């Protein structure tokens, strides 16, 4: 005879010792796309981390604008003409999946997937040598960058004007304190070597790299390989999208179905640099004016986030606000420079057009013989 509800409640401790019905042990269904992610852990990294990160695109350098300057000498010494050329089209999902699939043993020679990354159902090679091959560079004995061995006072003396020691208690330098030619070099470094959106301040590592590039070559394959690994393990913007997409294509990854492209940024040229510095100066003047009119420039002390894909030139340090006369002078200088550049390029175009006309006249006068 079954017991009543009351009898069951009063049955004592023995009723609490009954075992719960056993759950059926069945394999849980796969919750991620196995063709895109090597493991469930990689999928979780993508879902919780890399899918939400911004991407910084590489930038082309117009070498002819800097032929007789520090940036041009650095490019020539390292034979980086292909490295700073127009970056190829990059795809957002390819880049984010690549970073999510980078495993902890990428640089462990004893691991079976040493220097390999899982992408779209296969393992593709990713190593310093592969990076050099993508850029068409030789595997020569270049200098391996050693940041820790460089004295900071020596660094700041070589890259800054009017400063002989690193500021006490500071981890960064103001971009405005850099020498003019070092500022130009920093544009390339902060986009193609040590990508960052905080270009108005110069970190210790970036300062050391700028100092290094003034006189030495750089093992770019090893440097970018280590940088990608560092980005993967730190919550920073994703970088080198064109490189990653290009290596995937070299390895046979089908890109025909990719639709979302990484937003490209403007090339590094003389006009762009002058306009960028004027933009920074104008922002400071505007903030100063708003502070005088409204009593405060920003009531809550908030700052707008930097736009990663636009390489925003945020200004964090206090500088003297320029006068209206100085701003007008800057604008006139930039306009005059633009006119000179346009005239020089028009002359180049006319010279090329004349050569083409001469060549076509030659072929009309002496047509090639038909093929046998």
Q: What integer pLDDT is reported at residue 208 of this predicted model? A: 93
Residues in Cβ contact with 150 at an 8 Å cutoff, skipping those fewer than 6 apart? 208, 211, 212
Query: CA-to-CA distance for 213 and 185, rounded, in angstroms?
Result: 9
Cβ 194 vs Cβ 206: under 8 Å: yes
Task: State CA 340 to chain mean position distance.
Answer: 32
Please give the pLDDT value at position 281. Answer: 59
Query: What span, in angstroms and rounded, lies between the C-alpha atoms of 102 and 108?
Result: 12
Alpha helix locations (H) across 113-199? 128-135, 152-159, 180-188
Q: Which two tokens stand for residue 260?
A: 């979302």
Contact 202, 182 (CB under 8 A): no
Partners of 129 in beta bridges: none
DSSP 113: T
Q: What sections of the chain are H helices per DSSP?
A: 5-9, 40-48, 70-78, 92-101, 128-135, 152-159, 180-188, 204-215, 220-232, 241-250, 270-294, 324-365
Tell me phi and psi for residue 110, to 5 degrees.
-85, -10
pLDDT of residue 111: 94
Task: Give residue for tokens 């209206």.
Answer: 324
Instruction: Kindly give the parts of the chain with pLDDT less than 70.
Output: 1-30, 142-143, 147-149, 277-327, 329-330, 372
At residue 14, the pLDDT reads 46
* Residue 303 token pair: 């700052």
Please report the pLDDT score of residue 186 as a whole number: 95
The closest of 341, 372, 305, 338 to 54, measured between CA atoms, is 305
Whether 132 and 221 have beta carbons less than 8 Å apart is answered as yes
| pLDDT tens readout for residues 250-303 | 999 999 999 999 998 889 988 888 777 666 655 555 555 555 444 443 333 333
First to last CA, the chain: 109
Q: Which two tokens stand for residue 226?
A: 């280590």
- For the chain, how big is the Rg over CA atoms in Å? 29
């Amino acid at each position: 005879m079954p017991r009543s509800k009351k009898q069951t409640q009063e049955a004592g401790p023995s009723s609490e010792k009954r075992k719960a019905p056993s759950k059926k042990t069945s394999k849980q269904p796969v919750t991620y796309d196995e063709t895109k992610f090597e493991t469930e852990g990689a999928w979780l990294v993508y879902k919780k981390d890399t899918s939400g990160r911004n991407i910084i695109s590489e930038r082309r350098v117009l070498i002819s604008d800097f032929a007789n300057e520090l940036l041009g000498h650095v490019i020539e010494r390292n034979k980086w003409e292909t490295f700073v050329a127009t970056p190829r089209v990059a795809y957002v999902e390819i880049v984010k999946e690549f970073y999510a699939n980078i495993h902890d043993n990428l640089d462990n020679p004893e691991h079976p997937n040493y220097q390999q990354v899982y992408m779209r159902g296969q393992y593709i090679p990713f190593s310093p040598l592969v990076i050099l091959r993508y850029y068409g560079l030789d595997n020569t004995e270049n200098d391996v960058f050693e940041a820790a061995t460089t004295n900071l006072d020596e660094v700041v003396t070589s890259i800054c004007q009017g400063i002989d020691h690193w500021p006490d208690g500071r981890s960064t330098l103001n971009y405005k304190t850099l020498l003019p030619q070092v500022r130009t070099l920093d544009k390339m470094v902060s986009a193609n070597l040590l990508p960052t959106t905080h270009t108005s301040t110069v970190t210790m590592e970036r300062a050391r790299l700028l100092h290094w590039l003034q006189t030495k070559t750089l093992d770019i394959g090893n440097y970018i390989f280590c940088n990608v690994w560092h980005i993967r393990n730190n919550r920073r913007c994703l970088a080198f999208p064109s490189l990653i997409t290009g290596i995937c294509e070299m390895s046979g990854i089908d890109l025909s179905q990719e639709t979302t492209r990484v937003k490209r940024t403007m090339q590094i040229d003389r006009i762009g640099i002058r306009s960028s510095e004027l933009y920074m100066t104008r922002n400071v003047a505007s903030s100063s004016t708003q502070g005088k009119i409204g009593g405060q420039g920003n009531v809550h002390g908030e700052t707008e986030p930097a736009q990663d894909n636009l390489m925003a030139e945020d200004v964090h340090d206090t500088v003297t606000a320029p006068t209206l006369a100085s701003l007008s002078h800057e604008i006139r200088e930039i306009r005059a420079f633009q006119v000179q550049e346009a005239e020089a390029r028009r002359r180049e175009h006319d010279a090329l057009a004349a050569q083409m006309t001469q060549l076509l006249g030659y072929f009309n006068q002496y047509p090639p013989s038909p093929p046998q």
